[in-house]
């Protein structure tokens, strides 16, 4: 049996697995290697002058009872519940998301006519292979041309016809979030708009700090049970013998011997020439001296002439994420330019102009702007990604987990569910994969 276990990556997936394994068997030697100086991975929180910023709109929601029970076990009474308030920016103004009747009736008449026509048009897509195929077959060409095409190209940097249909399958699930909200095709979307059922999507969020507080609780439990977490430790590869993993190589910290390795770091570290790609995200965390009327938790922006793809308002997750009578906002921008990674401040004037254009920020009233590059935020599902995943030949005693490791466009609840399954000796599957 594997006794020396190394988990690469101290994000949600890695820490959930470490916490369950140390709870399950005190004789296991569990070591977590985390490249950053704090736990959380993509679920970290940054603070400055009384302001707290998560990496985007992180919060917990799940329809899986095992995941829900785990969340409440870790947080105990130290959590709050919040109702969803999300928007999408279309046609020059913010609209409720998922769409409501009021939001739809104000769309341009040409869009409404096209959508009405799409309701009664025979499906023109014979084989679903690309993102474009999926969206057009489900929602019609009208909505695709009006919103999905531009948003997707801006967000991913790829034409929708270059993306696998899985990107649409997963993306709809992630954007809708609540399984009680039916929006998986144009007809269900219209039914939900015209005859909405009372659905109140509830999120869990820590009652102090940001989302990283959850990861800190997990890390503390791992350490209390005798596990080890090594921060500032970057895994660079594996050591193997006769086709089996014997250790994890690191940059500057030697090799950590192991009988079993769970890898949640980007799989491109191990297979750099296989063509897998990730998106990098540029965040701008902005502190404001007074409360603005941004009444959403997060808002999607699909227009190509707006630089950011999403805005998040931290105080709508918990009021004390900002000092009293203050406000803040986080802008997310997909970057593909190495020069911007090194000097993101070059975008400041463009960002401020776009924030003012959508009414989110008054550029003359800003306390500070902090830029941050977050690498490997999303896997890119090009048309060939499934074949390349199937072609990977991992050694014995090795398993990929998490968003970056298993190349899975997931949310935190999926990562937790995956780790819970693995710790219990069960398998898992991607929620959006269909047999083909």
What Å distances lie between residue 417 and 69, 121, 262, 431, CA to CA? 11, 39, 15, 11
Q: Which range is least confidently modeled, 221-225, 240-244, 332-336? A: 332-336
Claim: this prediction has a pTM higher than 0.85: yes
Q: What is the pLDDT of residues 169-206, one digit of tens each?
A: 888 766 655 455 555 665 565 555 555 555 567 899 99
Residue 428: its pLDDT value, please?
85
Degrees to nearest 5, angle at CA 144 with 138 and 148: 105
Q: What is the pLDDT of residues 397-408, one digit of tens each?
A: 999 999 999 999
Peptide bond into 98 cis (omega under 30): yes
Q: Which residue has the tokens 């939001």?
A: 103
Runs of H (alpha helix) within 286-411 = 338-342, 348-357, 385-390, 402-405
Residue 103: its pLDDT value, please?
62
Domain 278-379 has CATH 3.20.20.70: no
| pLDDT over 60 (residue 44) | yes
Please state which CATH number belongs to domain 4-41+209-275+381-423: 3.50.50.60
Average pLDDT over every residue of 208-230: 97
With a CB cutoff of 8 Å and minimum separation 6, the contacts of 436 are: none
| Confidence at 424, pLDDT banded by 50, 70, 90 | very high
Angle, helices 12-24/412-423, rounded to nearest 10 degrees? 30
Residue 184: its pLDDT value, please?
60
Q: What is the pLDDT of residues 251-297, one digit of tens each?
A: 999 999 999 999 999 999 999 999 999 999 999 999 999 999 999 99
Q: Which residue has the tokens 């603005």?
A: 292
Phi first, then psi: give them for residue 373, nearest 5 degrees.
Answer: -95, 125
| Confidence at 60, pLDDT banded by 50, 70, 90 | very high
| Confidence at 67, pLDDT banded by 50, 70, 90 | very high
Average pLDDT over every residue of 133-154: 86
**Beta-strand relationship, 29-34 and 4-8:** parallel
> Is the CA virtual torsion 219, 13, 75, 29 positive or negative?
negative
Phi first, then psi: give them for residue 279, nearest 5 degrees.
Answer: -85, 145
Q: Which residue has the tokens 């630089």?
A: 307
Exposed e or buried b per residue across 321-330, where buried means at least 16 C-beta atoms within 10 angstroms of its C-beta? bbeeebbbbb
């Amino acid at each position: 049996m594997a006794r020396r276990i190394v988990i690469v990556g101290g994000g949600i997936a890695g820490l959930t697995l470490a916490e369950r394994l140390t709870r399950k068997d005190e004789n296991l030697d569990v070591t977590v290697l985390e490249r950053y100086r704090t736990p959380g991975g993509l679920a970290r929180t940054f603070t400055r002058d009384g302001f707290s910023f998560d990496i985007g709109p992180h919060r917990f929601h799940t329809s899986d009872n095992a995941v829900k029970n785990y969340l409440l076990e870790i947080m105990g009474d130290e959590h709050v519940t919040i109702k969803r308030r999300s928007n999408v920016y279309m046609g020059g103004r913010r609209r409720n998301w998922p769409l409501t009747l009021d939001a739809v009736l104000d769309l341009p008449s040409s869009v409404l006519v096209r959508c009405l026509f799409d309701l009664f048009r025979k499906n023109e897509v014979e084989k679903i292979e690309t993102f474009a195929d999926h969206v057009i077959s489900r929602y019609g060409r009208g909505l695709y041309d009006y919103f999905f095409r531009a948003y997707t190209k801006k967000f991913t940097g790829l034409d929708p016809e270059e993306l696998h249909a899985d990107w649409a399958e997963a993306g709809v699930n992630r954007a809708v979030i609540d399984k009680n909200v039916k929006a998986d095709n144009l007809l269900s979307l219209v039914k939900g708009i015209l005859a909405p059922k009372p659905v109140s999507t509830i999120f869990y969020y820590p009652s102090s700090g940001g989302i990283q507080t959850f990861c800190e609780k997990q890390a503390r439990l791992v350490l209390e049970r005798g596990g080890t977490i090594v921060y500032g430790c970057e895994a660079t590869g594996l050591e193997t013998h006769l086709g089996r993993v014997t250790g994890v190589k690191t940059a500057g910290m030697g090799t950590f011997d192991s009988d079993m390795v769970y890898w949640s770091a980007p799989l491109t570290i191990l297979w750099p020439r296989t063509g897998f790609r990730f998106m990098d995200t540029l965040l701008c965390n902005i502190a404001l001296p007074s409360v603005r009327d941004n009444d959403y938790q997060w808002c999607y922006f699909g227009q190509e002439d707006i630089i950011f793809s999403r805005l998040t308002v931290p105080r709508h997750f918990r009021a004390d994420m900002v000092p009293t009578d203050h406000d803040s906002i986080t802008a997310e921008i997909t970057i593909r330019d190495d020069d911007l990674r090194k000097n993101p401040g070059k975008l400041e004037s463009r960002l401020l102009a776009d924030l003012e254009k959508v009414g989110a920020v008054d550029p003359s009233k800003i306390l500070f702007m902090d830029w941050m590059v977050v690498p490997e935020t999303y896997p890119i599902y090009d048309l060939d990604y499934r074949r390349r995943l199937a072609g990977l030949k991992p050694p014995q005693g090795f398993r990929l987990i998490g968003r970056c490791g298993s190349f899975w466009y997931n949310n935190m609840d999926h990562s937790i569910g995956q780790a819970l399954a693995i710790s219990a000796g069960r398998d898992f599957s991607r929620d959006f994969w269909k047999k083909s």
